[in-house]
Amino acid sequence: MEKYTALIHKLHKTRRLSGKEWAFLISGRTPKLSEYLFSLARKEQEHYYGKDIFVRGLIEFSNYCKNDCLYCGIRRSNRKACRYRLDEDAILACCHEGYALGFRTFVLQSGEDASYTKDRLVNLVRKIRKNFPDCAITLSVGEWDKSSYQEFFDAGADRYLLRHETYNTNHYAKLHPKALSAKNRRQCLWDLKDIGYQVGTGFMVGAPYQTPELLAEDMLFLKELNPQMVGIGPFIPHHDTPFKDKPAGTMELTLFLLGCIRLMLPKVLLPATTALGTIHPRGRELGILSGANVVMPNLSPQGVRKSYLLYDNKICTGEESAQCRDMLEQKTASIGYRIVTSRGDSLNMPQNAANS
């Protein structure tokens, strides 16, 4: 036990561990050690962000996808998925509704939908930027070349979410079709960073074939990239994918890794994800108590929410946007934190990176 506690102290003090140390710590975690880790993570979180929990309005605007990721419910080969695509007006209507509810960050997420071309996305971002000059615009629309990312940025996008999914090349190949590679995914992240986006990356916890050694590689990559946001959530099987019989990731390991990431990158924005709320009714609250400080309620129109089904039993597909937001506000208050509606920029910006 002392060896593990010593590693937590080392992480807290130096903000880094070696690959071997990460694998050792992840394999040897215990409930007692986790509680200790969470107490340190909460202190770090409070030191930088107080009791503030940032909200982002998530608009899942298309579930068409040209990719065929083996874990994902909206993969191209899933003929049973009920496909939808919101047009620009419908997306703007979601932003207006969100704005009235207090949201100052919109996250536009979709599958890699060929009908949303680069020019169409640029126009969409421009319109949102013009209508909502005080809001942050986050894109999560997959892999593009650097010049396209630059055009989105010039049109007014300020943040980009792209999980690296897994650092390891062989592991990546077991989760994805041949056309996709870990190397290209990571190059996209470096390009986004280079352009000046606030970048979010991350991975699924308990993805099929994942091991503590592979997670150690993910932790080293997070340290190297030093992103503004890290999104991790449990893998949850979807019944119409090749991974339908694979076991889901656990809440316990997700919380442990949230605590570790908070100590490694203390100023990072760390969402308590919908997937975490899906595997346990108190998942998001427990995520906050382990170091998370962002929640992303859904602003998509109610009629399409059930169709953006990345995994089974996804929560919040029935409520109105206002209900979603109110429920999160109550749940957050119940554990002593408060929802704030500002843009919620990361303190982990390049000029602030000394402590990260």
Which DSSP state fits 337?
-
The DSSP element (H or E) to which 233 belongs, if any, is strand 229-234
Site for ligand SAM in 201-230 (CB under 6 A): 204
> Of 72 and 253, which has the nearer Cβ to ligand SAM?
72
What is each CA distance from 185 to 25, 158, 163, 164, in whole angstroms?
Answer: 27, 19, 8, 6
- Alpha-carbon span 189 to 230, nearest angstrom: 12
> Of 53 and 236, which has the nearer Cβ to ligand SAM?
236
Phi, psi torsion values for 137, nearest 5 degrees: -115, 120
For tokens 């409930």, name the residue. 31
- Alpha-carbon span 237 to 210, nearest angstrom: 14
For tokens 């995994």, name the residue. 311
Among 21, 52, 97, 112, binds ligand SAM (CB under 6 A): 112
| In the complex, minimum distance from the CB of residue 74 to ligand SAM, in angstroms, rounded to a whole number | 6
> Of 55 and 175, which has the nearer Cβ to ligand SAM?
175
Q: If you count them, how many residues does the chain have?
A: 356
Q: Does residue 261 bind ligand SAM (CB under 6 A)?
A: no
Q: Which residues contact 78 (CB under 8 A, 6 or more apart)?
A: 238, 240, 241
Site for ligand SAM in 131-150 (CB under 6 A): 140-142
Interaction pattern, residues 61-90, with ligand SAM; x per rule: CB under 6 A:
----------xx------------------
| In the complex, minimum distance from the CB of residue 231 to ligand SAM, in angstroms, rounded to a whole number | 8
Question: Within its chain, how far is the Cα of 335 from the centroid?
Answer: 22
> Of 117 and 131, which has the nearer Cβ to ligand SAM?
117
Q: Does residue 159 bind ligand SAM (CB under 6 A)?
A: no
* Piece of the chain touching ligand SAM by CB under 6 A; list 97-105, 217-225, 235-243, 292-300: 235-243
Q: Does residue 162 bind ligand SAM (CB under 6 A)?
A: yes
| In the complex, minimum distance from the CB of residue 278 to ligand SAM, in angstroms, rounded to a whole number | 9
Site for ligand SAM (CB under 6 A): how many residues? 19
Q: Does residue 111 bind ligand SAM (CB under 6 A)?
A: yes
Map 267-335 to HEC letters: CCECECCHHHHHHCCCHHHHHHCCCCCEECCECCCHHHHCCCCCCCCCCCCCCCHHHHHHHHHHHHHHC
Site for ligand SAM in 267-306 (CB under 6 A): 275
Task: Say if residues 349 and 111 touch (Cβ distance below 8 Å).
Answer: no
> Of 138 and 140, which has the nearer Cβ to ligand SAM?
140
| In the complex, minimum distance from the CB of residue 36 to ligand SAM, in angstroms, rounded to a whole number | 28
- Alpha-carbon span 87 to 75, nearest angstrom: 21
Among 76, 129, 163, 282, binds ligand SAM (CB under 6 A): 163
Signed CA dihedral, 80, 85, 90, 92: sign only: positive
Q: Does residue 109 bind ligand SAM (CB under 6 A)?
A: yes
Candidates 191, 195, 204, 167; CA nearest to 70 is 204
Among 159, 193, 238, 267, binds ligand SAM (CB under 6 A): 238
- Contacting positions for ligand SAM (CB under 6 A): 71-72, 109, 111-112, 140-142, 162-163, 165, 204, 233, 235-236, 238, 275, 310-311
